[in-house]
Chains A and B, each alone.
Chain A
Amino acid sequence: MKPEQAWEPYEPGARRPWDLRLAAHLLRRAGFGADWPAIEQAVADGPAKTVDRLLRPPENLAEFNATFDRYDAAGATGASTESLRAWWLRRMMETPYPLVEKMALFWHGHFALGNHGGISAALMARSVQSLRQGALGSYRALVAGVMSDPALYLSLRSERSRRSQPAPNVARQLLAVFGVGPGNFDENDLSAAARALTGRSVLRNELRFFDHDHDDGAKTLLGQRGNWNADDAVRIVAEHPATAEHVVRKLYGWFISECGEPEPELLEPLANHLREHDDVGRLVEVMLRSNRFFSAAAYRRRIKGPVELAVGLARAMEQTVPTLRLGQQLAELGQDLYRPPTSAGFPGGRDWINGTTLTGRWNLAAEMLAASGAYEGHLNPAALAEKHGRSTPEEAAKLLADVLLDGDLPPPIAQDWRQLSSLPAQWPARLRELAITLTQEPEYQLA
């Protein structure tokens, strides 16, 4: 596939027909996986109309976010982020606008604020809320926002930076992670950026600027010479052409595929789009509508992060679960919301899965689907089947396979299921078992 063609909008055809698999794929990548009514509607509407709907903020969004912002604020006391973590998971499960939560999660991993324990929860709440607000807007604005967020300086243990003692951690993060990426800057750029940032200090959780601590001498940053201050440095890095490519590469891994590194030519049209428009929402739109997105090179070419795994399961079952405990369990599987392990963000791709974490993922799904226990049996496949009028075992099994595995009911499981006694009294328990079995299929770990 040629790069231009790759990013052309996908048109369903005989070779690649629009079906449940692609509809579920779209809803998974642009959100956290969908419930049956949303899948059914997407199949009926076709890709164009479905992407339209996914991109359009729903009318009740402001009200929804205001309610959850209030819950965030009430739980954000001290340094513990347990309550915030629980409410974010809950927000992901209930949001009418999954794309923005999915992007907020992406930016949270990208900017990776909060990576050590001492930062106040209130500060972290504000930090993630601004990522959410800007999630589909200008990337440069996002970088500028994060660079003026006190949580960044606390995360990188750079509360003070003085002319005599610049703090290189923030400068390195700006260049290597938010900006041009490793290999596209050298020690001189690093020192220039660090000098430009001098004078910024965090006092009592506020970012302040002290002129007497600022080094206002001339610096050369990424080839540009001037008496740059912090805002200049942020602008120079954010507008640098390599920055767009660096960010687009990460977005490619998030939306399209984690299999191998994409060719620069493939990314070039996307990078150009970001350079030209600096509009994340429109860039995501291009990706979500594209041939590449709906091709075999993208389908199931991502490993679900722990959050995607659990939130997706709850959404598919159309129920919320106790998220305080869930947040803790997801942290142990490697994704502690509000507390990424390092400033490089969360692990990803293959690193999510080893023998122990997969045991943990399977056990978590089984625990969530159990009739009783820590998750209190909220997820209830039998109730789901009844809700959608599936009154025979075959129909109920089909529904679970549709919402959990894009319709793939593995033949041995289907056979076991058919042999099942037809006693309706046993259904609830057997449907739970079936759902657990489906979550243990290797494909279920893929997004």
Chain B
Amino acid sequence: MTIRRRDFLKAAVGTPALLSFGSFVPPVLLRAAASAASHSDRPTALVVLQLSGGNDGLNTVVPFSDDQYGRNRRTLRLTASEVLKIDDHLGFHPAMEGMARLLAEGRLSVIQGVGYEANDRDHEVAMRDWHTARPGDTGCETGWLGRAIDSVEGPARIGAPGVFVGPIPKPVGMTAQRSVVPHVRSLDDMTLAGPVAAGEAVGDLPASDNPLLEHVCRGAVAARLGSRQVQDVLQASATGGRYPDFPLAGQLKLIAELIRADLGIRIFFAELGGGGIGGFDNHANQRDNHASLLAQLSAAVTALIDDLVQAGLADRVALMTFSEFGRTLAENGRRGTDHGAAAPVLLAGGRLRGGLIGKHPDLTDLDADSPRPHTDFRRVYATLLDQWLGFDSRKILGRQFEPLNVVG
């Protein structure tokens, strides 16, 4: 028996005779097939954005009134008149106008002083630790997001629970033991080419006792329906948000389109800074280079959030930034800064508490010239897994971390 799209839509809006599809097709796709479905019962999604190279937290969220800061930053110092003030002590880097506005709108939270005790300030090692969420465990081969993806069971599994975008190799954080984590470069990767796309049929119900055949057929329904939804989004792209013209913005636009297509993807991963060398690793001439990167970060994230707000989806999406470490308080001799420890994690999106979370690290209590972290990064992970995605963080992180009060 072939399911035609009309029947399928009928099924989705609840014609009892066709409700049997419920066990056959992931509910998210069923619901999505009915265009009238409300946005509020969509599953939440998390966008993880890596800032490669060790972002200078002190010049991102700037303690402009702190003498220690001013004294130590000869060429990089941002003054009270330059920063975009959050309060009397802290302000955003002047290149972050968009994010400053998001904060004012309650769509941005700044979790201060995040990091971990044993960060040895080596790019590769520290980045691996943030990805595995198991600092120092050389035996750990999977990432925290990969384990989250592996933990998805049941019909939702057929829709690929997590994907990564952009010209990067598969992040360790997205390494799963048993799931294939797709790399989406463009919507073409989610769209069927060839005769299958032209067919009206959504899928065939297997008349077989072969459970594997049934499984493939489920995948086929998800593929066909997903492809169609992506095409619908493409056709409606005129209504999409306005994104600036640089790679990160293009990647976040792609993520917004995938979210709009409602494919059941819960976890997205993107990157800014080039992944390997350079990027936020501003050992020399930091001033302009860092400003350019922060401008890209702020404008791209703001475009994404504005787009989602317009689509009525902002409450279903949270974006988290992270970097392998912060930087030293003092400038080096090359108008740059060196590897440090604590840095803020930024959360953007809907249903957040918003504003500053936790206190700014004490600049008089430094560890090898860098602010010390007071909030373990896995507390942020655990909070997002449990409270935002509704996953089981204990299973994914190996133990219970004290949650933060960030989800509204």
Residues on A facing B (Cβ under 8 Å) = 115-117, 156-158, 168-169, 172, 258-259, 300-303, 332-334, 341-344, 347, 349-360, 362-363, 366-367, 433, 436-437, 440, 442-443, 445-446
Q: Is the CB of A358 within 8 A of B223?
A: yes
Q: Considering the chains assembled together, what is the distance between the CA atoms of A343 and B192 in angstroms?
A: 33
Q: A300-B213, A343-B141, A446-B216 are in contact. Are A354 and B192 (CB under 8 A)?
A: no
Contacts of A363 in B (CB 8 A): 189, 192-194
Segment 124-158 of B: residues with Cβ below 8 Å from A: 138-139, 141-142, 157-158
Contact of B223 among A301, A333, A350, A359 (CB under 8 A): A359
Contacts of B220 in A (CB 8 A): 358, 442
Q: Is the CB of B177 within 8 A of A341?
A: yes
> Closest A-chain residue to B183, C-beta based?
A332
Is the C-beta of B34 less than 8 angstroms from some C-beta in chain A?
A: no
> Closest A-chain residue to B226, C-beta based?
A355
Contact of B190 among A172, A343, A353, A356 (CB under 8 A): A356
Contacts of B158 in A (CB 8 A): 353-355
> Closest B-chain residue to A115, C-beta based?
B141
Q: Considering the chains assembled together, what is the distance between the CA atoms of A400 and B12 in angstroms?
A: 37
Contacts of B170 in A (CB 8 A): 341
Q: Considering the chains assembled together, what is the distance between the CA atoms of A436 and B278 in angstroms?
A: 44
Is the C-beta of B178 less than 8 angstroms from some C-beta in chain A?
A: yes
Q: Is the CB of B177 within 8 A of A446?
A: no
- Cβ of B346 to closest chain A Cβ, rounded Å: 28
> Closest B-chain residue to A156, C-beta based?
B139
Contacts of B169 in A (CB 8 A): 117
Contacts of A357 in B (CB 8 A): 160, 180, 182, 219
- Cβ of B394 to closest chain A Cβ, rounded Å: 20
- Cβ of B13 to closest chain A Cβ, rounded Å: 21
- Cβ of A343 to closest chain B Cβ, rounded Å: 6
Q: Is the CB of B194 within 8 A of A440?
A: yes
Q: A300-B210, A437-B195 are in contact. Are A355 and B263 (CB under 8 A)?
A: yes
Q: A300-B210, A366-B194 are in contact. Are A442 and B204 (CB under 8 A)?
A: yes
Q: Considering the chains assembled together, what is the distance between the CA atoms of A433 and B193 in angstroms?
A: 12
Q: Is the CB of A359 within 8 A of B191?
A: yes
Q: A355-B160, A356-B226 are in contact. Are A440 and B219 (CB under 8 A)?
A: no
Contact of A258 among B159, B212, B263 (CB under 8 A): B212
- Cβ of B27 to closest chain A Cβ, rounded Å: 14
Contacts of B184 in A (CB 8 A): 356
Contacts of B163 in A (CB 8 A): 356
Q: Is the CB of B194 within 8 A of A436?
A: yes
Is the C-beta of B1 less than 8 angstroms from some C-beta in chain A?
A: no
Q: Is the CB of A158 within 8 A of B138?
A: yes
Could you say which of B179, B192, B221, B223 has the most chain A C-beta atoms within 10 Å of its C-beta?
A: B223
Contact of A302 among B139, B159, B195, B212 (CB under 8 A): B212
- Cβ of A89 to closest chain B Cβ, rounded Å: 18
Q: Considering the chains assembled together, what is the distance between the CA atoms of A258 and B221 in angstroms?
A: 22
- Cβ of A62 to closest chain B Cβ, rounded Å: 37
- Cβ of A140 to closest chain B Cβ, rounded Å: 25
Could you say which of A353, A355, A367, A443 has the most chain B C-beta atoms within 10 Å of its C-beta?
A: A355
Q: Is the CB of A355 within 8 A of B212?
A: no
Q: Is the CB of A353 within 8 A of B141?
A: no
Segment 200-232 of B: residues with Cβ below 8 Å from A: 204, 206, 210-213, 215-217, 219-223, 225-227
Interchain Cβ contacts under 8 Å between A and B, 24 examples: A300-B212, A300-B213, A332-B182, A351-B179, A353-B158, A353-B216, A353-B219, A354-B158, A355-B219, A356-B159, A356-B190, A358-B223, A362-B192, A362-B193, A363-B192, A363-B194, A366-B194, A436-B195, A440-B194, A440-B196, A442-B204, A442-B213, A442-B220, A446-B210
Q: Considering the chains assembled together, what is the distance between the CA atoms of A178 and B225 in angstroms?
A: 41
Residues on B facing A (Cβ under 8 Å) = 29, 138-139, 141-142, 157-160, 163, 169-170, 175-180, 182-184, 189-196, 204, 206, 210-213, 215-217, 219-223, 225-227, 263
Q: Is the CB of A157 within 8 A of B139?
A: yes
Q: Considering the chains assembled together, what is the distance between the CA atoms of A302 and B212 in angstroms?
A: 7
Q: Is the CB of A347 within 8 A of B179?
A: yes
> Closest B-chain residue to A367, C-beta based?
B193
Q: Is the CB of B138 within 8 A of A157?
A: yes
Known: A367-B193, A433-B195. 11 other contacts (CB 8 A): A341-B176, A352-B180, A354-B157, A355-B219, A355-B222, A356-B160, A358-B219, A359-B223, A359-B227, A433-B194, A436-B194
Q: Is the CB of B212 within 8 A of A301?
A: yes
Contact of B189 among A116, A349, A359 (CB under 8 A): A359
Could you say which of B29, B141, B175, B182 has the most chain A C-beta atoms within 10 Å of its C-beta?
A: B141
Contacts of B159 in A (CB 8 A): 354-356
Q: Is the CB of A259 within 8 A of B213?
A: no
- Cβ of B106 to closest chain A Cβ, rounded Å: 34
Those 4 A-B pairs whose CB atoms lie nearest each other, nearest first: A355-B222, A334-B180, A366-B194, A356-B160
Q: Considering the chains assembled together, what is the distance between the CA atoms of A246 and B390 in angstroms?
A: 36
- Cβ of A340 to closest chain B Cβ, rounded Å: 10
Q: Considering the chains assembled together, what is the distance between the CA atoms of A322 and B43 in angstroms?
A: 41
Contacts of A354 in B (CB 8 A): 157-160, 180, 219, 222
Contacts of B183 in A (CB 8 A): 332
Q: Is the CB of B226 within 8 A of A359?
A: yes
> Closest A-chain residue to B213, C-beta based?
A442
- Cβ of A392 to closest chain B Cβ, rounded Å: 22
Q: Is the CB of A446 within 8 A of B212?
A: yes
Contacts of A437 in B (CB 8 A): 195-196
Contacts of A169 in B (CB 8 A): 138-139
Q: Considering the chains assembled together, what is the distance between the CA atoms of A172 and B138 in angstroms?
A: 13
- Cβ of A152 to closest chain B Cβ, rounded Å: 14
Contacts of B227 in A (CB 8 A): 359
Contacts of A168 in B (CB 8 A): 139
Q: A356-B163, A358-B216 are in contact. Are A344 and B177 (CB under 8 A)?
A: yes
Contacts of B206 in A (CB 8 A): 442
> Closest B-chain residue to A167, C-beta based?
B138
Contacts of A172 in B (CB 8 A): 139
Q: Considering the chains assembled together, what is the distance between the CA atoms of A117 and B169 in angstroms?
A: 10
Q: Is the CB of B194 within 8 A of A358?
A: no
Contact of A360 among B189, B194, B212 (CB under 8 A): B189
Q: Considering the chains assembled together, what is the distance between the CA atoms of A446 and B206 in angstroms?
A: 14
Q: Considering the chains assembled together, what is the distance between the CA atoms of A169 and B213 in angstroms?
A: 37
Q: Considering the chains assembled together, what is the distance between the CA atoms of A442 and B215 in angstroms?
A: 9
Contacts of B211 in A (CB 8 A): 259
Q: Considering the chains assembled together, what is the distance between the CA atoms of A369 and B278 in angstroms?
A: 41
Q: Considering the chains assembled together, what is the distance between the CA atoms of A346 and B196 in angstroms?
A: 28
Q: Is the CB of B142 within 8 A of A342?
A: yes
Contacts of A359 in B (CB 8 A): 189-192, 223, 226-227
Q: Is the CB of B213 within 8 A of A443?
A: yes
Contacts of A347 in B (CB 8 A): 178-180
Contacts of A443 in B (CB 8 A): 213
- Cβ of B389 to closest chain A Cβ, rounded Å: 18
